[in-house]
Amino acid sequence: MTIPMLFAAHLIDPLVQSNFHIVHSARHAYPLHGHDFYEIFIVTAGQCTHNINGEVQILTEGDMVFIRPEDRHGYDLFEGGDCQFLNVNFYNEVVEGAFDYMGHASFVHALKSPILSPVVRLLKADMEALVRKSEQIRLFASTDKQIARTMARSFLNDALTHFFLHYRNEGSKAMPQWFDHLLAELQKPENFKAGLPRLRELSNRSDGHLSRVFKLYLRMTPTAYLNHLRLGNAKNLLLTTQLPIVDIAYEAGFDNLSHFYHLFKDAFGIAPGKIRNGS
């Protein structure tokens, strides 16, 4: 089944770098789909079923959800009940810039890596504050786009702060400082492209120790994590350059083109050429 795609170029105002809308019923929500931008949505009333990457989440009033560009998701009624939610969409570079400013690689990985989209339950006062801020995006988008853009950035920062506090309260303090530093260093292309030898050099730990720590905190092997970073880099190059796919594979750190194709389709559910063509 071909899953429809929504594109930032069609939905997001380039002067605001964000888009806000309210969905009054799960019946009116867009069916299962993907998109090439980040999205944060808040369930403001009721309950609904959230279908995400082949899995199911039950969401209720106050749940705030972080949707990544790679996600495929949609909404259904839950036990006959309905829900209302608001959506705020952002250009990728706006969210990535916020991540860079926060400078916390393990938190960023915790948002980006799970199959299920991250969810945080907001207190009523916090939800109402974010709703008011999101409504100001819509208000000023038609009268003063500079203010609307500022309000969108403010909404994003507040939302990410709630996710970060939830992340810290869930036990991230147990992560060793050296490992957090290692993850930050691995975000640099010259490091993730260099592969396992560079990882060993940066960490000064044995292969066995590294394997145990990666599985404990990230639930994946060191090789899988490096491939995750390489594939993200490759996807960005596909969407933002006209480089041939073979050059992109090499630039991202893959020596075997066939292996690159296999990993890319497994990760994103679509071949490299098709994601560039918007198919």
Instruction: Report the amino acid identity of residue 264.
Output: F
Nearest C-alpha neighbor of 45 from the set 88, 80, 83: 83
Task: In whole angstroms, give the CA distance from residue 95 to residue 108.
Answer: 10
Helix, strand, coil percentages in the chain from 3-state DSSP, rounded to 5: 55, 20, 25
* Domain 175-277 = CATH 1.10.10.60: yes
Torsion of CA 30, 34, 39, 43, to 10 degrees: 40
Q: Tell me what pLDDT residue 87 has.
A: 95
Task: In whole angstroms, give the CA distance from residue 251 to residue 247.
Answer: 6
Task: In whole angstroms, give the CA distance from residue 76 to residue 58.
Answer: 10
Tens digits of pLDDT across the chain (279 residues): 578 899 999 999 999 999 999 999 988 888 899 999 999 999 999 999 999 998 899 999 999 999 999 899 999 998 888 999 999 999 999 999 999 888 888 889 889 888 889 999 999 999 999 999 999 999 999 999 999 999 999 999 999 999 998 887 775 545 677 888 898 889 899 999 999 999 999 999 999 999 999 888 777 899 999 998 999 889 888 888 889 999 999 999 999 999 999 999 888 888 888 877 655
Q: Tell me what pLDDT residue 113 has.
A: 85
Q: How distant, in Å, are the alpha carbons of 27, 133, 139, 176, 177 from that of 23?
A: 9, 17, 17, 42, 42
Same fold, 5-169 and 175-277: no
Task: In whole angstroms, give the CA distance from residue 55 to residue 108.
Answer: 21
Count of C-beta atoms within a 10 Å radius of residue 34? 21
| Domain formed by 5-169, architecture | Sandwich (2.60)
What one-character DSSP code corresponds to residue 49? E
Q: What is the pTM of this model?
A: 0.64
Nearest C-alpha neighbor of 65 from the set 111, 23, 120: 120
Q: Tell me what pLDDT residue 66 has.
A: 97
Instruction: Report the amino acid identity of residue 159.
Output: A
Domain residue extents for the chain = 5-169, 175-277
Task: In whole angstroms, give the CA distance from residue 193 to residue 252.
Answer: 6
Q: Tell me what pLDDT residue 276 has.
A: 74
HEC assignment per residue over 79-121: CCECEEEEEEEECHHHHHHHHHHHCCHHHHHHHHCCCCCCEEE
Nearest C-alpha neighbor of 126 from the set 168, 159, 90: 159
Q: Which residues pair with 166 in a beta bridge?
A: none
SS3 label, residue 249? helix
Q: Tell me what pLDDT residue 171 has.
A: 57
